[in-house]
Amino acid sequence: MSQILEIDANFRTGAQLPSIDEHYIDIWKIAKALETLGHPLDQWFPPADTEANSLLNKAFTEVGPSAAALAMAKADSDNLATDLRTLGVWNGSEEEGAIAYTATYNIGPFPSTLNFSSKDAVVLRDRSNVIKLVLAVINMWKPMVVQVAPGGYLEKSVFPDRPGAGWMLYLPFAINAQQIPEAADVIKIMDDKGKTQRGSLIVTVAETFDVQNPEHIKKANAIETRLVDQDLLPTNSEFVAKF
């Protein structure tokens, strides 16, 4: 059975939207991170009115977004708004190995978002590769929360109004392994100077998380409950208000 892996990050953009060029460079940086994991940089395509037209143009070059991708983004009137913009790419597949992601930048009260989805992508079956990708997201956007889970997990999480632990969960404060003994790992995320812990990446299970595995669901649910019992898992509205 195929499984969708989703990575969703919430973060703040600032008082002004970046330019389309700057926005696309951020999208490119994620593709560069995936290139180090084995996904070719030249296998990304910008959105278009049809699949065939999308596949006519590469989204990226070795040094940044392609001229064609930037021109297509700037020709879309939806991208000219000054308060909200979504840019994204896909790898040209809708079958096994498919990957697509978007970054929505929002200067309003709601957070900006990265929404990443893959379908049985070989490079993301390995836990260490997923961690490397999540660390790239954290280092670039300094998010308030990152959730990594297979499609369908949130319906099985304990608290509908809070982020789910899923396979991995990043929270923007210090947590140690003793506080959540059920976790397979708790990775400290340090600030840019490497002196202060600014967040924690919780890994629920060592193997690839399977939403059909009752033991995996049980482990993630236990971690969610443990976090809430220690006041370490804010509600979604609290994240928006506090971070």
Structure tokens at 46: 């910008």
Q: What is residue 3's predicted lDDT score, i.e. its pLDDT?
A: 87
* CA distances, 20 to each of 84, 89, 184 (Å): 11, 14, 40
With a cut of 90, say whether residue 211 has pLDDT above it.
Answer: yes
Q: What is residue 68's predicted lDDT score, i.e. its pLDDT?
A: 98
Q: Which of 102, 153, 151, 150 is nearest to 125 (CA)?
A: 150
With a cut of 60, say whether residue 1 has pLDDT above it.
Answer: no
Q: Which residue has the tokens 């790419």?
A: 89
Q: What is residue 216's predicted lDDT score, i.e. its pLDDT?
A: 98
SS3 content of the chain, % helix, strand, coil (to 5): 35, 25, 40
pLDDT tens digit sequence for 151-194: 999 999 999 999 999 999 999 999 999 999 999 999 999 998 99
Structure tokens at 137: 């997201």
Question: pLDDT band at residue 53, thresholds of 50, 70 and 90?
Answer: very high
pLDDT tens digit sequence for 71-95: 999 999 999 999 999 999 999 999 9
